[in-house]
Amino acid sequence: MDKYAVIMAGGVGSRFWPRSRKTLPKQLLNLFGEFTMIQETVNRLNGFIDTDKIFVITNKVQKALIEEQLPQIPKNNIVAEPVGRNTAPCVALAAAIISEINDEAVIITLPADHLIIDAQKFRQSIQTAAEFAYQSKGLVTFGIEPTRPDTGYGYINFDKDEIKPQVHRVKKFVEKPNLETAKLYLSSGEYLWNSGMFIWRTDVVLDEIKQHLPEMFRSIKLLNKDLSSSNFYNELDDIYPGLQSISIDFGIMEKSDKVYLVKSNFDWNDVGSWESAYELNKKDENRNAIIGDVFNAGSKDSYIYSPDKFTAVVGMDDVIVINTKDALLVCNRNNVQDVRKVVDFLAGQKREGLY
């Protein structure tokens, strides 16, 4: 069984403004330690997948910096989309490229910006999923056992009967619920968090794309898959903008009748907002996560980041304060999902460099 990895790294991470920008998005930041998030994603695969079998799908703006951050990955394996077209075209492009090498290879498709603490448990789940995907010709995802009624994640309703140890059939995917619904999901024991990670054979996922997204399949099949060819990016520029912008969840996973999950218990967070950064960082005795040159007087339950200049926060609770060289964000922790509105505003004002 030949294993490949595809890392999806085209996002902007608008909810992590002002640290995350179009040219330096969330996955290229070291939010939690020495390494950036995309470096951590690759590091988790060390010894499990050869570096020449790891592909990164990104965009033209981020390509050079990803090459710099991941020098172990062959430069041809870092593929720049000419325009963003969501995850289904990203998956189709990567699968078409890998199919030219090995049509029955198992592809592990991973977002670049997830935080996973226990790499060993993660690799064990990948191995279980890869073996099942190869043998069953199914589409496999990871269902993460929920630890709380979280409204920021999508959920998967699954059949409790095991097909194989840890492997279950997926009944349906459900969107991010309200709090009461999330509590019902948690108490039922029949729902898991949707991890957004996928494992499948190359030929299987291409067949599913052919069935459910036939126009996308026809377009991608026309593309010259030789990444070393001078014509590759010319053809990609011609074909890719015309592809339907749709997620792999909506385009394939919710339509297919061969979807399974591996029930997983590795410590996982999709790091979707500054609230995640608050939860995952160390706190002081007042439950503050403080990074940088900060004076705090009487503030509690807050995340304060200011490495470049002195910042004082006085008597404020439950706030996010992000102070960078050229921008300041002050946000209630209950409103972190609205940070993207700032990016939309700056983009509308054409404030280049600030978003």
The tens place of each residue's pLDDT in the chain, 355 residues long, gives 999 999 999 888 899 999 999 889 999 999 888 899 999 999 999 999 999 999 999 999 999 999 999 999 999 999 999 999 999 999 999 999 999 999 999 999 999 999 998 899 999 999 999 999 999 999 999 999 999 998 889 999 999 999 999 999 999 999 999 999 999 999 999 999 999 999 999 999 999 999 999 999 999 999 988 898 889 999 999 999 999 999 999 999 999 999 999 999 899 998 889 999 999 999 999 999 999 999 999 999 999 999 999 999 999 999 999 999 999 999 999 999 899 999 999 999 999 999 9
Residues with Cβ within 8 Å of residue 102, at least 6 apart in sequence: 2, 4, 202
pLDDT at 289: 97
CA angle centred on 281, ends 278 and 283, rounded to 5°: 90
CA distances from 3 to 52, 108, 131, 133, 196 (A): 11, 7, 10, 11, 19
CA distances from 184 to 51, 180, 181, 191, 334 (A): 42, 6, 5, 9, 22
pLDDT at 182: 95
pLDDT at 228: 85
Strand-pair category, 139-144 with 259-264 = parallel
Q: Which helix (H) or strand (E) holds 347?
A: helix 340-348
Q: HSE on the CB side for 40, CA within 13 Å?
A: 23
As given in the structure block, the two tokens for residue 114 are: 């997830």
Domains of the chain, each with CATH number or no CATH: 3-269 (3.90.550.10), 274-348 (no CATH)
pLDDT at 48: 94
Counted residue by residue, the chain has a size of 355
Q: In the beta sheet, which residues pair with residue 295?
A: 312
Among the listed residues 2, 3, 29, 33, the one whose alpha carbon sits nearest the alpha carbon of residue 15: 29
